[in-house]
Amino acid sequence: MVNILLVCMGNICRSPMAASVMHAEVVRRGLAGRVALDSAGTYGAHQGEKADRRAVALAQARGYGQIVNERARKVTDDDFERFDLILAMDLDNLAELQRVCPAELRHKLHLFLAYAGVEERTEVPDPYFGNAAGFEVVLKLCEQGVDGVLRRVVQAA
């Protein structure tokens, strides 16, 4: 079993969207017994909140219903032990994870898109202060990234 944690800042936009897309793909590809996942944020101000309503509406419209079950939480010290892969949505969140992660576990930390092999972009932009178009960009990047991550995880298993 490969345990994957998807991380953004507040855990209300990007990482819940990525987790919902990945959940749907794990089920679709018959990988439920091989891949487990969760999402979290480096910033705990939204602890316990549902995903952003714009993220929820878009994800549900595209068939990623798992997003309604997402609740924001902050990355914990235990996460570095528990997860095999910790994938940050951007460089700032990767830097924060590297700052708090024990040195011997930092090999688990990667940029989501870089790990997925998406070469056009390195970061998933934060759509929070933007409009619906920003959420569309994020969902498209999550779909691309999830495909790459799952292909890589399945090949390594």
Q: Hey, which residues are catalytic here?
A: 8, 14, 126
Residue type, 25: E
In 10 A of CB 3, how many CB atoms? 15
Rounded to the nearest 10 degrees, the angle between the axes of helix 14-28 and helix 53-61 is 20
> H/E element holding 18?
helix 14-28
Residue 33: how many CA atoms within 13 Å on its side-chain side? Answer: 1
DSSP symbols for 66-96:
GGGG-B--B--HHHHHH-SEEEESSHHHHHH
How far does the chain reach from its first CA to its final CA, in angstroms? 9
